[in-house]
Amino acid sequence: MVVDCIGLALAGGNDIVQFLSIIIANFLLGLVLACQTTWAVIDEGEAEHQSDLPASMQNSIAKSLLVSEALWTLANTSIRVSALLSISRLFGCMMHTSVWGISFLVTTLHGLASVLEIFLICRPFSAQWDVDATGACGNQEASFLVIEIIGLGLDLIMMIYPTISVLGLPISRKKKVMICMTLDAGCIVFVITALRLRSLNLIYAPDFVYAQSYFGLLSAAGVMAGIPLCTALQWFHIVRVTKAAVVKHKRKRDGGYELEGWWKHVQLLQGRPNACLLKTSQLLLGYSNRVYS
What are residue 269's phi and psi, to 5 degrees?
-85, -10
Domain spans, the chain:
4-231
Does position 286 have pLDDT exceeding 80, yes or no? no
- The single-letter code of the amino acid at 237 is H
Q: Which of 223-247 are b and which e, b meaning 16 or more Cβ less than 10 Å from the residue's Cβ?
A: bbbbbebbbebbeebeeeeeeeeee
Sign, CA torsion 144/150/119/48: positive
Write down the pLDDT at residue 276.
Answer: 57
196-226 per-position pLDDT tens digit: 777 777 777 777 777 777 787 777 777 666 6
Write down the pLDDT at residue 8.
Answer: 43
> Residue 134 to residues 116, 138, 154, 206, 263: CA-CA distances in angstroms?
21, 14, 37, 17, 70
Write down the pLDDT at residue 259.
Answer: 39
- 270 or 190, higher pLDDT: 190
Write down the pLDDT at residue 240.
Answer: 60
Does position 195 have pLDDT exceeding 70, yes or no? yes
Does position 193 have pLDDT exceeding 80, yes or no? no
135-184 per-position pLDDT tens digit: 788 888 888 888 888 888 888 888 888 888 788 777 778 777 777 776 77
Look at 95-99, 116-120, 225-229 and tell me which has the smallest mean pLDDT: 225-229
Q: What is the mean pLDDT of residues 264-275?
A: 44
Q: What is the mean pLDDT of residues 16-37?
A: 69
Split at pLDDT 50, 70, 90, the class of 280 is low
Write down the pLDDT at residue 67.
Answer: 79
For the chain, the DSSP string reads: ---GGGGGGT--THHHHHHHHHHHHHHHHHHHHHHHHHIIIIIITTT--GGGS-HHHHHHHHHHHHHHHHHHHHHHHHHHHHHHHHHHHHHGGGS-HHHHHHHHHHHHHHHHHHHHHHHHSEESGGGGT-TTSS-EE--HHHHHHHHHHHHHHHHHHHHHHHHHHHHTSSS-HHHHHHHHHHHTGGGGGHHHHHHHHHTGGGGG-S-HHHHHHHHHHHHHHHHHHHHHHHHHHHHHHHHHHHHHTTS---S-EETTEE-TTTHHHHHHHTTSS-HHHHHHHHHHHHHHHHHH-
Length of the chain (residues): 293
Does position 4 have pLDDT exceeding 60, yes or no? no
Q: In whole angstroms, what is the distance from residue 248 CA to residue 217 CA? A: 47
Does position 189 have pLDDT exceeding 80, yes or no? no
Split at pLDDT 50, 70, 90, the class of 84 is confident
Write down the pLDDT at residue 258.
Answer: 44
Write down the pLDDT at residue 49.
Answer: 60
Split at pLDDT 50, 70, 90, the class of 113 is very high
Does position 13 have pLDDT exceeding 50, yes or no? no
What are residue 254's phi and psi, to 5 degrees?
-120, 105
Write down the pLDDT at residue 47.
Answer: 53
Closest CA to 88 of 101, 77, 75, 78: 101
Q: Report the share of the chain in percent with pLDDT over 70.
A: 56
Mean pLDDT, the chain, as a whole number? Answer: 69
